[in-house]
Amino acid sequence: RHKEKWAATAPRIPSTRLALHHFDTSYSLHLGALWPSVRAGLLCEQKYGALLNNFAAADHVPEELELLNATDFISEALQKVQQWQRGTAVGDAATGCQEGSGEGRPGVQAEMVAQAEMSPPLCTSISSKIKCYTFPRGDITRFRPARPDGLGLLDYYLMDAASLLPVLALHVQPDDFVLDLCAAPGGKTLALLQTGFCGHLAANDVSISRTKRLHQILHSYVPREVRDTVSVTSYDGRDWDQVKGGTFHKVLVDVPCTTDRHSAMEEDNNIFHRRRTKERQMLPMLQLQLLMAGILAARPGGAVVYSTCSLSPLQNECVVERALDVARAQFNITLHPEDLSHFRTLFQDTFRLGELVLPHLTANFGPMYFCKLRRV
Ligand code: SAM
């Protein structure tokens, strides 16, 4: 016990403990019975995915990873859709059933119909060239570090596989102009480039030091001719509208947040440090301003994906709801939230997923929240 009379400062409570206390209070209410298992996931080693670098000469890597029992979770999901479609087609031909008629094996048929209905957008949304290998549920094997090819380009990028979901949700189409408003260190920028579809990619981040890291990643993974299609800037994203408003087909707004996994585990750069209380409390406002800037940067008909790696409804749904109101009231902009529920069906083998990827000991990805808005 310290002598209060003599102690110059009160004993410091670790930021990780403050974070966990905060999470226990708010997330046990928000997630209910799910919270204990999510908490255990947050406190254990996270799982990585290996995003294959299509720009590297690394044809041998898929075989190498498959020998270790890793699979590309995106192409697996695509195969599943194709099987459902074939199943539905065979069922239709054999029974002459109309979709949804419920004849034959009602449960199975209803499931097939639901899946078939969501299949076309699904197929196109994941038919991009993004490939990401993960180990099966419960397998905690680590990937070897990335290796350079003959030209020095690294063969894969290790990242939380859940971070790819906002990129997949964005559904980049050939020649799209894409803005990544909060881009550094650049995992999602790299994934956007792997689609091979970006006509132009603007990657912005206010932090100069983190933008340097983004440059490093681009140099390590992307050949010069492709790098030349990327413009890297360090504006405050909130001012983006003054730079280039209303021009992008697709905008990714991957905002700064309480980075729950980091806050629960690492003292370094922890936003729950007492000195950063004000900054933490202001996060939802900053997130709203960044999302509004992203919305204004999108052209009519364009799409915006908002994402965080926090479980907090105040940083997730509440920010999106507020942005819809502000867009309508102040800018006369209507936005339609897109239904991403098909992602749940599609990727359920890899993630514990709702609108939110919840960490779990057997599939320790996330947390990751993402929401897609289409500008009318
Ligand atoms: N998208 C990145 C990736 O996949 O590697 C991670 C982005 S991180 C979650 C959030 C980023 O927002 C940080 O790099 C931070 O520097 C940046 N940021 C914070 N405030 C910003 C602002 N006002 N304008 C632009 N970027 C900002």
Q: Is the CB of 205 under 6 A from ligand 1?
A: yes
Q: What is the pLDDT of residue 82?
A: 77
In a domain, 184, yes or no: yes
Report the pLDDT value the prediction gives residue 110, as an integer from 0 to 100.
36
Bridge-partner residues for 371, per DSSP? Answer: 306
**Residue 298: inside a domain:** yes
CATH of the domain at 194: 3.40.50.150
Whole-number pLDDT of residue 175 = 95
The domain total for the chain is 1
Query: Domain residues for 338?
Result: 36-41+162-375
Atom of ligand 1 nearest to the CA of 254: 1
ipTM, two decimals: 1.00
**Phi, psi (deg, nearest 5) at residue 14:** -55, 145
Among residues 198, 257, 309, 371, the one annotated as catalytic is 309
Give 10-residue mean pLDDT values along the chain (376 residues): 57 92 96 96 96 96 98 90 69 36 35 42 64 94 97 97 95 95 98 95 97 98 96 95 80 98 97 97 98 96 97 96 97 94 84 85 95 96
Residue 356, in any domain of the structure: yes
Length of the chain counted residue by residue? 376
Question: Is any atom of ligand 1 closer than 6 Å to the C-beta of 91?
Answer: no
Q: Note whether residue 83 is domain-resident.
A: no
Task: Identify whether 329 is part of a domain.
Answer: yes
Active site residue 309: yes
User: What span, in angstroms and rounded, lies between the C-alpha atoms of 320 and 200?
Assistant: 26
CA atoms within 13 A on the CB side of 117: 11
Provide the pLDDT for residue 268.
96
Locus of tokens 């409804």? 313
What pLDDT score was predicted for residue 132?
Answer: 97
Is 38 in contact with 358 (CB distance < 8 Å)? yes
User: Is 129 contained in some domain?
Assistant: no
| Nearest residue to 23 (alpha-carbon basis) of 255, 269, 287, 280 | 280
Structure confidence at residue 219 (pLDDT): 98
**239 domain residue, yes or no:** yes
Whether 184 lines ligand 1, by a CB cut-off of 6 Å, is yes
Does 216 fall in a domain? yes
